[in-house]
Amino acid sequence: MSIEKQKNYKIAVIGNPGSWSTEKLADELYERTSFRLVVDPAQLAFDMQGRTLVAGNTDLAELDGLAIKKIGPVYSPDMYNRLEILRFFCSLGKPVFSRPEMVMMAVNRLSCTVNLQIGNIPMPPTVITESRDEAVRAVRKFGKAVFKPLFSSKARGMLLVEDNANCGSAIANFQASGNTAMYIQKMVQIPGRDLGISFLGGKYIGTYARRKGNSWNTCTSNGGKYEPCEPDAETINLASKAQDLFNLDFTCVDVVETEDGPMVFEVSAFGGFRGLYHACGLNAAGMYAEYIINQLESRQ
């Protein structure tokens, strides 16, 4: 059954052309507005003198709004450049979901962690340092630690380091591979899963779990599986407090259940549709499209 067209809004999706989540959101917006456009953020062009922001033949200032689903195929410092360009779009009075400055706070693992710590959100013990000696001390203190790149998703580039004879060389290789500042987090005991607790407009909409396979992490690209989950009120409340610090329109809070209670790994800059869809049967992309249109309607 087709969805009745709601408004003739022109809303472009900033994301990775061809990727499931980007295309899904573009499809859901099209079903409601009859307009569909996916913009590769690498194709943005900002003309300061002309005060224009274009992508190909499209003047984005002529659109009603933008929805940021992804800002590139890989996480990197280039994201900041693209987000700064999109911040100009906001200065024109055009709505962007989520606002670029809010995304900036979450897209870098260190920035996200600092914001969570300022907000007194419990997290696994973590050390950030450029010193290899301090990194070795951290591993010795933790016994087993996960080294995480500051820009990464889906466990890409993460390294599990144990307190053994190979510890120093593993750390040196990790730092030499482009990780000047090393983000070192204690490997905490978990019940074989972590949780993706999702929010739309600051309101809780559902949770999926990632059950790990044969890897040390729960990432689906490493054999993890999505499954439905209903966390207790304490866990949902913690995730809600964490996402409140970032004011993102759609996000997912990664939470781990530990012997010391729930702890937060991170707040996602973009959130994920796939886990909610496969585990819970929730069409989060459709819900987000409805939310965006309602927000535009409220501005009228």
Per-residue three-class SS string for 108-131 = CHHHHHHHHHHCCCCCCCEEEECC
Contact between residue 215 and residue 209 where contact means Cβ atoms under 8 Å apart: no
Q: What is the mean pLDDT of residues 149-162?
A: 86
Residue 22 to residues 90, 184, 267, 271, 295: CA-CA distances in angstroms?
21, 31, 19, 12, 20
Q: Percent of the chain at pLDDT above 90?
A: 81
What would be the CATH architecture of the domain defined by 109-119+189-269?
A: 2-Layer Sandwich (3.30)
* pLDDT band at residue 1 under the 50/70/90 scheme: very low
How do residues 14-67 score in pLDDT, each as one tens digit? 999 999 999 999 999 999 999 999 999 999 999 988 888 999 999 999 999 999
What would be the CATH architecture of the domain defined by 11-97+284-298?
A: 3-Layer(aba) Sandwich (3.40)
Residue 121 to residues 239, 260, 263, 267: CA-CA distances in angstroms?
9, 13, 8, 11
Q: What pLDDT does residue 156 have?
A: 81
- DSSP letter at 61? G
Question: In terms of pLDDT, which residue wins out, 299 or 109?
Answer: 109
Q: What is the mean pLDDT of residues 201-229?
A: 83
Note the helical H segments in the chain: 20-33, 78-91, 100-107, 109-118, 132-142, 167-176, 233-244, 274-280, 284-298
Q: What is the mean pLDDT of residues 100-109?
A: 94
How do residues 163-196 score in pLDDT, each as one tens digit? 999 999 999 999 999 999 999 999 998 888 999 9
- This prediction has a pTM of 0.92
Q: What is the mean pLDDT of residues 118-135?
A: 98
pLDDT score of 140 more than 70: yes
pLDDT score of 3 more than 70: no
Q: What pLDDT does residue 152 have?
A: 79
Contact between residue 220 and residue 210 where contact means Cβ atoms under 8 Å apart: yes
Rounded to the nearest integer, the mean pLDDT of the chain is 92
pLDDT score of 12 more than 50: yes
Q: What pLDDT does residue 181 have?
A: 96
**Burial profile 41-60: b = 16 or more Cβ within 10 angstroms, e = fewer:** beebebeeeeeebbbeeeeb
The number of helices, as runs of H, and strands, as runs of E, in the chain is 9, 16
pLDDT score of 77 more than 90: no
* pLDDT band at residue 5 under the 50/70/90 scheme: low
CB atoms within 10 A of CB 36: 16
Query: Would you kindly state where each structural domain of the chain is located, as residue ranges?
Result: 11-97+284-298, 109-119+189-269, 126-186
The CA distance from 243 to 237, in Å, is 10
Q: Which of 97-111, 145-159, 185-199, 250-264 is least confident? A: 145-159
Strand order in the sheet with 159-162: 126-129, 182-186, 144-148, 159-162
pLDDT score of 136 more than 90: yes
pLDDT score of 252 more than 90: yes
126-186 CATH pick, 3.40.50.2300, 2.60.40.420, 3.30.930.10, 3.30.1490.20: 3.30.1490.20
